[in-house]
Amino acid sequence: MTEIRGRSDVGQGGDVVPLVYLAKYLPVQGQPDLLLKWNQPVPRYTSYPTVPFWKEHLEAPRWKDAFRARFSECNEKEGISLYIHLPFCESLCIYCGCNKKITTNHSVEDEYLQAIFSEWSMYLQLMERPPVIRELHLGGGTPTFFSPQNLERLMARLLEGAVVHPDHSFSMEGHPNNTSREHLDTLYRSGFRRISYGVQDLNREVQEVIHRIQPFENLCRATADARAAGFTGVNFDLIYGLPLQNLERLRLTIAQAVSLRPDRMAFYSYAHTPWANCAQRLIEESYLPSATEKMELYERGKEWLMESGYTNIGMDHFALPSDDLFKAWRDNRLHRNFMGYTTQDSGMLLGLGVSSISDIGSAFAQNEKTLGGYYQLIGTGDLAVRKGYFLSQEDQAFRRHILDIACKGYTVFDPAWLSVIDEWSMPALRELEGDGLVRIGETGVRLTPAGRPFLRQVCKAFDLHLLRDEKARGAGVVQCGKAVTGERGPSFSKAI
């Protein structure tokens, strides 16, 4: 009997199955059909079940009951996490898939903050005690679209009557072009210590074609300002697969980024989904790298980051050994939720603002996605939750397996669900094992080093919703969740 113990090297670059890498290193060398087999669209598993399987209309009273119950369990023990979505941006980056509203009219800040305050008040009424806030993240959109004074008001209201956990982690997304020293000083005083700058690519021609001009000098200044203000964590987000990107441009981007020594870097795949993101239709498709070129961008980019002292953690993330994410990964404390990888699991993530998602362990809820609809719902004095999902016991068991694979690289089978694992997961796991990508023991399964690029495909072996959906459709590939009709593409972006 093979006991599954300890950690393995958790997979890398779940976004991409890099054929160049595989051709060089994997036991499937010389079998291109086998390599292509794993390059299917597959979820990123920031939730399970994944969003396409949620119900369109969440029962609000049931959500409130579940929220109250979970809050009682979590608050005193671990504290709660908050995500605040701040959707405004001054200009449109045409690759962007976020929920955002483009405007240069800053009078929108006040109306939006009032809606957030109302929503927070409604949730406070569901809490029997003052919330203990452990994690807080400002995302967007562009949080630094808001003035320092308005961000200070936001934080004052959120923390009024709340308790800040002694081991708290407050973080934010910042745009290198508009994050001022005043923003940073203000947020530092509110407890923020980590900022993520969207870098994407530093080549001017790439920046022009994606409509995001941000000179390297701006990133240098924003990074220096963050450190001078006292921020101890600076993250950069890079993207590969953008139009006009090539190896030389990526090499220079990474060299410039590395020269500023960010603590953590995300290296995301550009998901070209013009059927879902209208602005991407402005991208001239002939400017996009081919699948082979994109794989090489990923593979070389990963090598350059690792040669520069960064360790590949989970999907898409690279961190210096001094960074908290690296330590959480090393100590098996990594968690994954809608914010991606996090260093702790507070057990309860509450999302405020338009389109925000909450995760309370037993249920997910997503707020109304249009700004007008969000204001309207909040204006009626009720929560803005729209779609969501209540997890069954089976869902919770298989969610744990997926989180284990994504965060630790192995999972121990839940004895209560062995027959379901045998029926649904084992066929896929055996196929992965046959290709040398996992090792199956009697009590669990572990990624092999060759399986690390396929982390998401291994997670999928425990995605009962997707597996059953595929079977019902008689499909051999992931199209998932909803019918693919007309111009609409698959629910998940293609890996390459």
98 binding ligand SF4? (CB under 6 A): yes
Kindly indicate which of the ranges 14-22, 124-132, 135-143, 309-317 contains the residues binding ligand SF4, using the contact rule CB under 6 A: 135-143
CB-nearer residue toward ligand SF4: 21 or 268: 268
Place of tokens 């009078």: 107
CB-nearer residue toward ligand SF4: 175 or 300: 175
What gap in Å lies between CA 120 and CA 483, rounded to an integer? Answer: 36
Considering the complex, what minimum distance in angstroms separates the CB of residue 123 from ligand SF4? 25
Among 93, 234, 319, 447, binds ligand SF4 (CB under 6 A): 93
Kindly indicate which of the ranges 140-148, 162-170, 369-377, 459-467 contains the residues binding ligand SF4, using the contact rule CB under 6 A: 140-148
Considering the complex, what minimum distance in angstroms separates the CB of residue 98 from ligand SF4? 4
Q: Give the single-character DSSP code of 450.
A: G
- Closest Cα to residue 473, out of 460, 484, 487? 484
Q: What is the DSSP string of 19-67?
A: HHHHHHHSTTTT-HHHHHHT-S-----SSSS-GGGSBSS--HHHHHHHH
Among 4, 22, 86, 89, binds ligand SF4 (CB under 6 A): 89
86 binding ligand SF4? (CB under 6 A): no
Backbone angles phi, psi at 267, to 5 degrees: -130, 90
User: Are residues 96 and 279 in contact, defined by beta-carbon separation less than 8 angstroms?
Assistant: yes
143 binding ligand SF4? (CB under 6 A): no
92 binding ligand SF4? (CB under 6 A): yes
96 binding ligand SF4? (CB under 6 A): yes
List C-alpha distances in Å: 286 to 15, 93, 196, 272: 22, 18, 31, 12
Among 49, 79, 141, 233, binds ligand SF4 (CB under 6 A): 141
Kindly indicate which of the ranges 139-147, 217-225, 269-277, 425-433 contains the residues binding ligand SF4, using the contact rule CB under 6 A: 139-147
Return the sign of the alpha-carbon dihedral for residues 480, 58, 47, 200: positive
Considering the complex, what minimum distance in angstroms separates the CB of residue 41 from ligand SF4? 22
66 binding ligand SF4? (CB under 6 A): no
Residues 254-313 contacting ligand SF4, CB under 6 A = none
> Helices in 354-461 by DSSP H: which ranges?
371-379, 393-408, 418-420, 426-434, 455-460
- Neighbouring CB atoms inside 10 A of 314's CB total 25
- Closest Cα to residue 168, out of 362, 342, 330? 342
Kindly indicate which of the ranges 55-63, 137-145, 238-246, 314-322 contains the residues binding ligand SF4, using the contact rule CB under 6 A: 137-145
Per-residue binding string, ligand SF4, 173-202, x by CB under 6 A, is --x----------------------x----
Considering the complex, what minimum distance in angstroms separates the CB of residue 440 from ligand SF4? 41
What gap in Å lies between CA 286 and CA 33, rounded to an integer? Answer: 26
Kindly indicate which of the ranges 42-50, 88-96, 159-167, 233-241 contains the residues binding ligand SF4, using the contact rule CB under 6 A: 88-96
142 binding ligand SF4? (CB under 6 A): yes
Considering the complex, what minimum distance in angstroms separates the CB of residue 177 from ligand SF4? 9
CB-nearer residue toward ligand SF4: 100 or 193: 100
The H helix count followed by the E strand count for the chain is 17, 19
- Closest Cα to residue 412, out of 431, 440, 435? 440
What gap in Å lies between CA 51 and CA 83, rounded to an integer? Answer: 18
- Closest Cα to residue 402, out of 42, 60, 137, 21? 42
444 binding ligand SF4? (CB under 6 A): no
Considering the complex, what minimum distance in angstroms separates the CB of residue 207 from ligand SF4? 11
Return the sign of the alpha-carbon dihedral for residues 457, 235, 269, 353: positive
Which residues lie near ligand SF4 (CB under 6 A)? 89, 92-93, 96, 98, 100, 140-142, 175, 198
